Amino acid sequence: MNFCSHCGFKDMEFIIPDGDSLPRYVCPNCKTIHYINPKIIVGSIPIWEDKILLCKRAIEPRYGKWTLPCGYMENGETVEQGAIRETEEEANARIEVIGIQSIYSIPHINQVYMVFHSKLLDLNFSAGEESLEVGLFREEDIPWKELAFSAVHFSLKHFFQDRKQGQIQSTRIGFFQMSDRKHNH
Ligand SMILES: [Zn+2]
């Protein structure tokens, strides 16, 4: 952080404020403490019969890899609204959110994924601005080696495991660490 977003002062201090336990960027001019917290990524598994909707990314990172429709939550929206908005943006698709499918922490890059089960409401989907193509996949057709993110892999793997046991509503919690060579399940 190079300057204070509150007053524009340029010499920020990185110190532990009184009563706190971690160092923060503190503005010596206006005394604002700038907290930097994890970002929430919201997404969903859009289900149509025995298939789910995936998007091929047209943007970095992971250009050309497949992902569930997901993205950064915006201020002023709920997590469900974020999941619906991301699905509209990336796949021009309409969904109804059913429930939470997984919560996935990635502490070394300060991200938390929240992935919902959702019902795809019609088949009028198409590639949005951030997608090269979108499509419906059965379990055996999922491009497992071409998935964009560990959280997507985690969600899909558990989705199909749970579906086999008839537990579409179960919630999985997981994490991924920098030192992990494989996806942590
Ligand atoms: Zn300031």
pLDDT tens digits, residue range 104-136?
Answer: 999 999 999 999 999 999 999 999 999 999 999
Asked if residue 183 has pLDDT above 90, the reply is no
Q: How far is the CA of 32 from the centre of ligand 1 (A)?
A: 6
Nearest to 67 by CA among 46, 84, 49, 92: 46
Q: How far is the CA of 27 from the centre of ligand 1 (A)?
A: 5
State the fold for domain 39-175: Nucleoside Triphosphate Pyrophosphohydrolase (3.90.79)
Q: How far is the CA of 120 from the centre of ligand 1 (A)?
A: 46
Q: How far is the CA of 108 from the centre of ligand 1 (A)?
A: 28
Q: How far is the CA of 72 from the centre of ligand 1 (A)?
A: 27
Residue range(s) of every CATH 3.90.79.10 domain in the chain: 39-175
Q: What phi and psi values does residue 49 have, to the nearest 5 degrees?
A: 55, -120
**pLDDT range class, residue 174, cuts 50, 70, 90:** confident
Mean pLDDT confidence for 33-46: 96
pLDDT given at position 180: 54
Asked if residue 144 has pLDDT above 90, the reply is yes
Residue range(s) of every CATH 2.20.70.10 domain in the chain: 1-36
CATH number of 1-36: 2.20.70.10
Contact yes or no for 61/18 (Cβ under 8 A): no
pTM of the model: 0.86
**pLDDT range class, residue 179, cuts 50, 70, 90:** low
